[in-house]
Amino acid sequence: MAVSARRGTPLTPEEIYNMALRLVDEVGVEGLSMRKLAAELDVNPMSLYHHVESKTALISQICASQGLRMELPGEDLPWRERVRLLAHAYRSLSRDHPNMWRYVHSHPEIIASRTGGLWDVLFSILVTVGVPESELRRTADVLYGFVTGLVFAESAGHIGQGQDPREADRTFETAIDLIIRGLGG
Amino acid sequence: MAVSARRGTPLTPEEIYNMALRLVDEVGVEGLSMRKLAAELDVNPMSLYHHVESKTALISQICASQGLRMELPGEDLPWRERVRLLAHAYRSLSRDHPNMWRYVHSHPEIIASRTGGLWDVLFSILVTVGVPESELRRTADVLYGFVTGLVFAESAGHIGQGQDPREADRTFETAIDLIIRGLGG
DNA sequence: ACCTGAACACCGTTCAAGT
DNA sequence: ACCTGAACACCGTTCAAGT
**Residues of chain A whose C-beta is under 8 A from some C-beta in B?**
102-103, 105-109, 135, 138-139, 141-142, 144-154, 156-160, 167, 170-171, 174-175, 177-184
Q: Looking at residue B175, what is its pLDDT?
A: 98
- Nearest nucleotide relative to A44: CA against C1': D4
Q: Where are the alpha helices (DSSP H) in A49-183?
A: 55-67, 79-96, 98-106, 117-129, 133-156, 165-182
- The backbone region for A116, taken as left when phi is positive above 0, alpha when psi lies in -120 to 50, beta otherwise, is left
Residue A52: name the closest of A68, A37, A67 by CA. A37
Q: What is the C-alpha to C-alpha distance for residues A66 and B163, in angstroms, rounded to an integer?
A: 28
CA B136 to chain centre: 23
Which residues does chain B have within 8 Å of residue A141's beta carbon, measured at their own beta carbons?
153, 159-160, 171
DSSP state of B111: G
State which residues between 41 and 100 of chain B bring their CB within 7 Å of strand C: 43-44, 46-47, 49-51
Asked whether the beta carbons of residue B146 and residue A149 sit closer than 8 angstroms, the reply is yes
Q: What is the C-alpha to C-alpha distance for residues A177 and A132, in angstroms, rounded to an integer?
A: 21
Domains in chain A, CATH or no CATH each: 13-63 (1.10.10.60), 72-182 (no CATH)
Asked whether the beta carbons of residue B147 and residue A149 sit closer than 8 angstroms, the reply is yes
For B104-120, the pLDDT digits (tens) are: 888 877 765 556 688 99
Which residues does chain B have within 8 Å of residue A157's beta carbon, measured at their own beta carbons?
108-109
**Band (B1; pLDDT cuts 50, 70, 90):** very low
DSSP state of B155: H
**Residues of chain B whose C-beta is under 8 A from some C-beta in A?**
102-103, 105-109, 135, 138-139, 141-142, 144-154, 156-160, 167, 170-171, 174-175, 177-184
Which residues does chain B have within 8 Å of residue A28's beta carbon, measured at their own beta carbons?
none
Who's near B76: CB < 8 A, 6+ residues apart?
A: none
Asked whether the beta carbons of residue B149 and residue A154 sit closer than 8 angstroms, the reply is no
Residue B159: name the closest of A144, A83, A103, A87 by CA. A144
Q: Looking at residue A1, what is its pLDDT?
A: 40
Within 7 Å of a protein beta carbon, the nucleotides of strand C are: 1-6, 10-15, 18-19
User: CA A132, C1' C12: Å apart?
Assistant: 49
Residue of chain B whose Cα is closest to the Cα of A99:
B106
B30 pLDDT more than 90: yes
A153 CB inside 7 Å of strand C:
no
Q: Looking at residue B9, what is its pLDDT?
A: 76
Quick one: average pLDDT of B6-27?
Answer: 90
Q: What is the C-alpha to C-alpha distance for residues A65 and A80, in angstroms, rounded to an integer?
A: 28
| Mutation site for A-interface testing, chosen from B138, B161, B181 by largest number of A Cβ within 10 Å | B138
Q: What is the C-alpha to C-alpha distance for residues B174 and B172, in angstroms, rounded to an integer?
A: 5
Contact predicate A126/A136, CB 8 Å: yes
Residue A105: name the closest of B60, B104, B114, B112 by CA. B104
Q: What is the C-alpha to C-alpha distance for residues A103 and A60, in angstroms, rounded to an integer?
A: 10
Q: How many residues are there in chain A? A: 185
pLDDT lower than 50: segments of chain A: 1-2
DSSP state of B1: -
Quick one: average pLDDT of B31-59?
Answer: 96
Please give, chain by chain, protein residues whose CB is below 7 Å from any atom of strand D.
A 2-6, 10-11, 43-44, 46-47, 49-51; B 2, 32-36, 45-46, 49, 54-56
B35 CB inside 7 Å of strand C:
no
- Nearest nucleotide relative to B12: CA against C1': C2
Within 7 Å of a protein beta carbon, the nucleotides of strand D are: 1-6, 10-15, 18-19
Q: Looking at residue A116, what is its pLDDT?
A: 67
